[in-house]
Amino acid sequence: MSKYEIAQKKYSIENFKDKFIAKNLIINWNDYIVIDKDDTLSTYEFSTNLYSTLSLVKEEAKKTKKNRDKLYSATKVVASVDTSGSVRYRIIKYLGNNKNKLKDISIQNLQSFQGTISYFNIKGDKLKIEFFDKGVLKGTTTDIQNLDDVKLKEAPIGASLILVFEWVDHYNVAYNMGSGNAYIFYTGSTYEGTYEVASYSGGGYASGGSYHEHFNDPIHGSGFGINTHVEEILIDPSFENTKAECVFNKLNELSEGFKSAIQKFDGDFPVAHLKLVLEDLGAARGITRAPNGNENVPDYVITIALNNNSSTQGVGYRPNLMTAKTIAHEVIHAEMFRKLLSLANQGNINFDSRTKQERIDYLLSIRSSFPGIYDYMRRHKNWQHQQMATHYIKTIADILKEFDNSQHSDQFYNDIAWEGLIYENGNNAIYTWTSKSLEEKNRIKKTIADYINSYKNENCQ
């Protein structure tokens, strides 16, 4: 058996501390480069399925809606095999500001790379972080600690203690006080009710050294208000460089309500790990899938799919504003699923294999934590649409108004927000809709139809 085959056979990441990576990282064994190979040791770097876009929002962006920056990450696996068949694996996360460079990046190809590289062993222990400036190694830190003991009350000397909730990816910022450059690096994922110890990154920087900061901590100086709750969204290759991605990016740039309104639901935005894909959905405009224990729907990932077929329901045909409406609509679905997931004590909401008492306890936890959801679940088969139509029409309308730069009346955006919530018959009939007057129903339907007809096949730039 070759060393390459041994690397595949012995690989297992099921004990990795970050359960999102343990459940979802998939190696492309056919896409690799040979880092080093001789008679005693062979080292390979394999690509994986984890490529992400991260949206950074500076503190002043809350008011100006500007200063939004993008970072991109790629996760790879390095395997070193010696003559005895022993294998050492390292998980490597690249974080940089150039999306194209990450497609071909490797530890042998760091020319002009700007960013950080985080190294983990196969158990998820952090080994080191390297800081690069235009391909030149500027510093290394190894004093990284993460403790998941909810009873912990004091942080080690030189570190801060942060209470975090739900599945959230965390990043820290280290500054070179001389140049003003900021290095942002991944520190791991944490779950509801755990503490994270965030250490200072240590030496290696001139003019005052470096430090880490967290958005919820006091800002260290007037010029460093960067939010390190970085929003990591998994962008499927089908979604990249499409009209749908263009609209999504514009939502992030133009609609503060797209974030702040969703945050009113109780949770950190985005919901758990949010994945965006394009698929042929037939007659549906979009669909949101919660993790359900099926291997085709990864744990801890809530997937939003938009329709990419050539019908009138496809993204290509629909106006940008209506695509933005579909995204906002589906994100609300996703947030509702996230709330249920936060109480499940597992990576999915499939309770088929759980005992009757465990199911009862789960429902009681929903009643206690989210009484509104429990009430709609108890009374309605299509509870999410019922709740959305009753409580979140204005939320969607406000998002669309910001996205559209207030070109129309409030009534127009409220009418547009009803698309996807017009159910009149049978068990799916939505009371909030059926209770409207015929005149009001006809106005809403006409507003939606006229707008789509006027702006069909609109491009996004």
pLDDT for residue 56 is more than 50:
no
The full DSSP string for 70-109 is EEEEEEEEEEEEETTS-EEEEEEEEEES-HHHHHS-BTTB
52 neighbors 235 (Cβ within 8 angstroms): yes
176 neighbors 187 (Cβ within 8 angstroms): no
Higher pLDDT, 259 or 441: 441
Query: CA 136 to CA 117: how far, in whole Å?
Result: 12
Residue 121: pLDDT band with limits 50, 70, 90: very high
The mean pLDDT of the chain is: 75
Higher pLDDT, 382 or 226: 382
pTM (predicted TM-score): 0.63
Q: What integer is the mean pLDDT of 5-12?
A: 93
**Which of these ranges, 69-73, 86-90, 128-132, 386-390, has the smallest mean pLDDT?**
69-73
Residue 262: pLDDT band with limits 50, 70, 90: very low
* pLDDT on residue 407: 96
Residue 53: pLDDT band with limits 50, 70, 90: low
pLDDT for residue 144 is more than 70:
no
Q: What integer is the mean pLDDT of 294-304?
A: 77
Query: Which residues 6+ apart lie within 8 Å of 64 measured at CB?
Result: none
* pLDDT on residue 233: 67
pLDDT for residue 343 is more than 60:
yes
**Which of these ranges, 132-136, 186-190, 264-268, has the smallest mean pLDDT?**
264-268
Q: What integer is the mean pLDDT of 409-428?
A: 91
Residue 66: pLDDT band with limits 50, 70, 90: very low
pLDDT for residue 451 is more than 50:
yes
How crowded is the C-beta side of 322, counted as CA atoms within 13 Å?
A: 26
